[in-house]
Structure 1
Amino acid sequence: MNGEEEFFDAVTEANQRVTGVIHVDTSKSNGIGKVGERPPQENGIQKHRTSLPAPMFTRSDFSVWSILKKCIGLELSKITMPIAFNEPLSFLQRITEYMEHVYLIHKASCQPQPLERMQSVAAFAVSAVASQWERTGKPFNPLLGETYELTREDLGFRFISEQVSHHPPISAFYSEGLHQDFLFHGSIYPKLKFWGKSVEAEPRGTITLELLKHNEAYTWTNPTCCVHNVIIGKLWIEQYGTVEIVNHRTGDKCVLHFKPCGLFGKELHKVEGYIQDKNKKKLFVIYGKWTECLWGLDPAAYESFKKRERRTDSLRKTKLDDCPEKADGDVVDAVPEAQETVQVIPGSKLLWRVNTRPPNSAQMYNFTSFTASLNELEAGMEEILAPTDCRLRPDIRGMENGNMDLASQEKERLEEKQREARRARAREEAEWQTRWFHRGSNPYTGTPDWLYVGGYFERDFSGCPDIY
């Protein structure tokens, strides 16, 4: 079923109602600006911006239900959504947010023991989803052939991604340490579904981290992400599901349970798990919240603490049973526990803590400081970037600059251009050729994957498609 074609007319009408689209000639303007006199640089901006050019667009007057009521049970990647749902980033840039806490990879690489390395890798896997907290805007769907690169010398990595498939939407990425300490790569194709009150993103695709110094490879898949109250009420996000991180050299495994919200929200954001060896002996316990921090300690100390906690709870319950007249008040007081920060067990080791968000984050789509820098485009950079780079997309640039009319019109133009290119390939019976990645198998799991072929940073962009 081709939901994209089915909903295009209805969505276009809604889009115009939201933004009051005006038809202007954009052939001479892409919202980027003129090239300055500064020498070109390999996107190695030394001082990164800390805010966006314009504040977030309000969605308060927009009827989400008018679009989504026909989408229940459908895969949302096939639906053309109004720009009111978006945040000014491509999904390729959102994948790059995995790298915000890249110091955890560097730390893992420096650890002499495999148990310590797994602790840092587990912390990195949890940190990779931390930026999604309160991020209720939808990233722009990448166009087929779209790319994004990021070089951060200060953080010690460079990153390249490409949209390698449109239906189903698949984004492939590859990152390497600038000091030859790691490789980080994978392909992501989340399956989005609308269930009446919520939108669920089920993760597909394997993530692989290679620590070159130790000849170790770790693989895992992200948890499921769910955005609640998309129709009415305050939007909120939860992550749930089990993430298994495997060390393919030692056989060690880290099993992390991202807890669903639960009754009264007591489990909201919680992560609990353990590291075990190849014989399934528990070596280390991990706990915390993916929105805040992650701690760990020896399993024996953890069990001892839990026993004391259960004994205390049992005594407290006995006292409540003896004093029924006080029970109601005590139970009501216990409800706000969902808002408390992580209870740290004595003897625990801090594995990771989330970065503080900038004070203006709420006006910037709840971006972190790292995220706010991702669409940065300094004068001279467009001479260095591939012509398919997200930073050159006029609809995202328009939205970032607060020009919603231009952004909406450009989004529709780019989507129609993509459809026409697909029809032209069908007429010619030509298959799409990816540029920087090829279809293959993950070398450690054997599952289907997209592998980086190399060559991007040599900067021969002569064969890149015209997608904008």
Structure 2
Amino acid sequence: MNSEEEFYDAETGLESDDDSCEVNFEDAQVYDSKHSSNASTPQENGVWERRKTLPAPMISRCDYSVWGILKKCIGMELSKITMPIVFNEPLSFLQRMSEYMEHTHLIHKACTLSDSIDRMQVVAAFAVSSVASQWDRTGKPFNPLLGETYELTREDEGYRLISEQVSHHPPISAFHAQSLKQEFEFHGSIYPKLKFWGKSVEAEPKGTMTLELLKHKEAFTWTNPLCCVHNIIMGKLWIEQYGTVEIVNHNTGDRCVLNFKPCGMFGKELHKVEGYIQDKSKKKRRVLYGKWTECMYSVAPKVYEANKKKKTEKGDAKKNKPEQSAGEQETEDMPGGQETVSVITGSALLWRITPRPAHSEEMYNFTSFTMTLNELEPGMERLLAPTDCRLRPDIRAMENGDLDTASVEKDRLEEKQRAARKECSKDEEEWSTRWFRLGTNPHTGAQDWLYTGGYFDRNYTDCPNIY
């Protein structure tokens, strides 16, 4: 019954480490938790001051074994396996998906840049930052019920988002975010496929991300990298992202190719991301490098090659230090304020992660942004669709630390969903989505789930009764 993708957390800033860089990012917007998270003006969704913690700490998993459940499932599609609720985190996958928006200031920055290559490198940083929220997030989100929705309105960040579970088998979640000032639209649909391979679980986030910068009349598309959770049998769970991500500007022909490197036998490449941007004539314009858990930099290709040659000639100083295996490296926390990326002189900083709250480990490794996603203030119910996952009793119970009630409610909701499917099958009716329709992505030509509009008119009369 569980088919989810694992995600991670970060916050960011844009700045330059060198005034001589081709692009200066010092004037970029920065997510300021002291300002944005404590907004004193009413938000559209009714929130006055965003919370900084969850109602109850994370439920212990010490008495449960993932291996005991998965040992008979090697090579199987995990959507057909029921996992104990204790391995969940108190969020729906729709809420987990909205964490793409944690670094929206990068999109705002891209909108202000006049050069297409400059815009591409900031969009690339946004693509990397959107998976950074998966770092150390080993709990799985709740499966969304068919027809479930999630609304996220952030006036302080200048956007609003709506998502819907549009298919149950296969599980497909669609989302659409739009700027409140008509600057951009960001949308996509995710079909997460998970497989168990003995010591690890691999998640393939099938689906295309589309970012449209309306002022520049540009559309960028890409797919997310693979995600793998290691040490399922024993040891500390840890996660890596790997695979090639290609970002295409469909209007200019510019392309960015990012290589999320697998950690390797000794963990030397752990979390590393390297790539380049080329224009429509295939000339390499910028080289990007960093780690998806820490930061991303941009540098001129000639400077990058010169640095690479210099390192080859002098020998890498790190070779004289004992290497730390991937397993050893991940048994300790990643450094909070200390970067492990070697910065090349003349590089521009595109994005840097912000440390999580001190109590994050006790709160499912959530960031300050994630802490607010399931928040429900008095009076908020009248604004939300009745299908919004903030209203799900099982997620709410788990957030409050009541595992028994959460388990009972989860079983009840799943049984209600099965009964509704049987009724539709008996009446030969087909499920009808409310806010999205299956169509063709105008930029890729591929099949995609597209937002039909109307959600924020607040007319919920045709919403199904799923809770």
TM-score of the two chains, using structure 2 as the length reference = 0.87
Q: SS in structure 2 opposite 1:265?
A: coil
Distance 1:428 1:274 in 2: 54
Task: Tell whether 2:153 aligns with 1:151.
Answer: yes
CA contact (8 A) 2:43 2:155 kept: no
CA contact (8 A) 2:47 2:380 kept: no
Map Cα deviations across residues 399-440 of structure 1 (whole Å, 9 max, x no partner).
Answer: 000000100111111111111111111111111000000001
More helix by share: 1
1:154-173 equivalences under 5 Å are 154-173=156-175
Task: Tell whether 2:393 aligns with 1:412.
Answer: no
Aligned AA (2:205): P
Aligned AA (2:234): I
Q: Which of 274, 292, 295 is residue 294 of structure 2 equivalent to?
A: 292
CA contact (8 A) 2:266 2:323 kept: no
Aligned AA (2:142): F
Q: Which of 93, 97, 100 is residue 95 of structure 1 equivalent to?
A: 97
Distance 2:323 2:77 in 1: 39
CA contact (8 A) 2:43 2:153 kept: no
Distance 1:85 1:334 in 2: 33
Task: Tell whether 2:260 aligns with 1:258.
Answer: yes
- Who is 1:15 aligned against? none
- Who is 2:26 aligned against? none
Map Cα deviations across residues 163-199 of structure 1 (whole Å, 9 max, x no partner).
Answer: 0000000000000011110000010111111111111
Distance 1:140 1:440 in 2: 27
Q: SS in structure 1 opposite 2:397?
A: helix
- Who is 1:235 aligned against? 237
Q: SS in structure 1 opposite 2:215?
A: helix
Q: SS in structure 2 opposite 1:374?
A: coil
Map Cα deviations across residues 200-225 of structure 1 (whole Å, 9 max, x no partner).
Answer: 11121110000000000000000000
Distance 2:315 2:422 in 1: 65
Aligned AA (2:44): E
Distance 1:313 1:51 in 2: 47
Distance 1:89 1:228 in 2: 22
Shift of 1:232: 1.3
Shift of 1:69: 1.8
Aligned AA (1:367): F
Q: Which of 223, 238, 252 is residue 221 of structure 1 equivalent to?
A: 223
1:55-66 equivalences under 5 Å are 55-66=57-68
Distance 1:231 1:125 in 2: 31
Task: Tell whether 2:311 aligns with 1:276.
Answer: no
Shift of 1:286: 0.2
**Gap regions ≥5 residues in structure 2:** 3-41
Distance 1:433 1:108 in 2: 36
Shift of 1:45: 1.9
Shift of 1:43: 1.3
Shift of 1:77: 1.8
- Who is 1:45 aligned against? 47
- Who is 1:350 aligned against? 349
CA contact (8 A) 1:41 1:384 kept: no
Q: Which of 81, 84, 89 is residue 82 of structure 1 equivalent to?
A: 84
Distance 1:41 1:133, change over 3 A: closer
Shift of 1:46: 3.4
Task: Tell whether 2:322 aligns with 1:333.
Answer: yes
Q: Which moved more, 1:399-408 or 1:77-86?
A: 77-86
**Gap regions ≥5 residues in structure 1:** 6-39, 318-329
Q: SS in structure 2 opposite 1:213?
A: coil
Shift of 1:332: 5.7
Distance 1:41 1:108 in 2: 25
- Choose 1 or 2 for highest CA Rg: 1
CA contact (8 A) 2:43 2:154 kept: no
Q: SS in structure 1 opposite 2:133?
A: helix
- Who is 2:445 aligned against? 446
1:105-184 equivalences under 5 Å are 105-184=107-186
1:354-369 equivalences under 5 Å are 354-369=353-368
Aligned AA (1:155): E
CA contact (8 A) 1:41 1:381 kept: no
Distance 1:177 1:77 in 2: 34
Distance 2:397 2:302 in 1: 56
- Who is 1:29 aligned against? none
CA contact (8 A) 2:290 2:297 kept: yes
Aligned AA (1:447): A
Distance 1:72 1:456, change over 3 A: same
CA contact (8 A) 2:110 2:118 kept: yes
Map Cα deviations across residues 76-115 of structure 1 (whole Å, 9 max, x no partner).
Answer: 1222221011000000001100000000000000001001
Q: SS in structure 1 opposite 2:398?
A: helix
Distance 1:368 1:292 in 2: 14
Map Cα deviations across residues 423-459 of structure 1 (whole Å, 9 max, x no partner).
Answer: 1111111110000000011110011100000000001
Q: After TM superposition, where is structure 1 displaced by more than 3 Å over at least 4 residues in a row? A: 334-340
Task: Tell whether 2:193 aligns with 1:191.
Answer: yes
- Who is 2:304 aligned against? 302
Aligned AA (1:384): L
Identity %: 70
Map Cα deviations across residues 31-69 of structure 1 (whole Å, 9 max, x no partner).
Answer: xxxxxxxxx963152321111000001111102222212
Distance 1:287 1:281 in 2: 18
- Who is 2:380 aligned against? 381
Aligned AA (2:422): R
- Who is 2:12 aligned against? none
Aligned AA (2:56): A
Shift of 1:263: 2.3
TM-score of the two chains, using structure 1 as the length reference = 0.87
Q: SS in structure 1 opposite 2:156?
A: coil
Shift of 1:70: 2.3
Shift of 1:134: 0.2
Q: SS in structure 1 opposite 2:49?
A: coil
CA contact (8 A) 2:265 2:325 kept: no
Shift of 1:336: 7.6
- Who is 1:16 aligned against? none
Aligned AA (1:171): S
Distance 2:416 2:346 in 1: 59
Q: Which moved more, 1:453-462 or 1:333-342?
A: 333-342
CA contact (8 A) 2:175 2:188 kept: yes
Distance 1:447 1:107 in 2: 29
CA contact (8 A) 1:223 1:239 kept: yes
Distance 2:78 2:393 in 1: 23
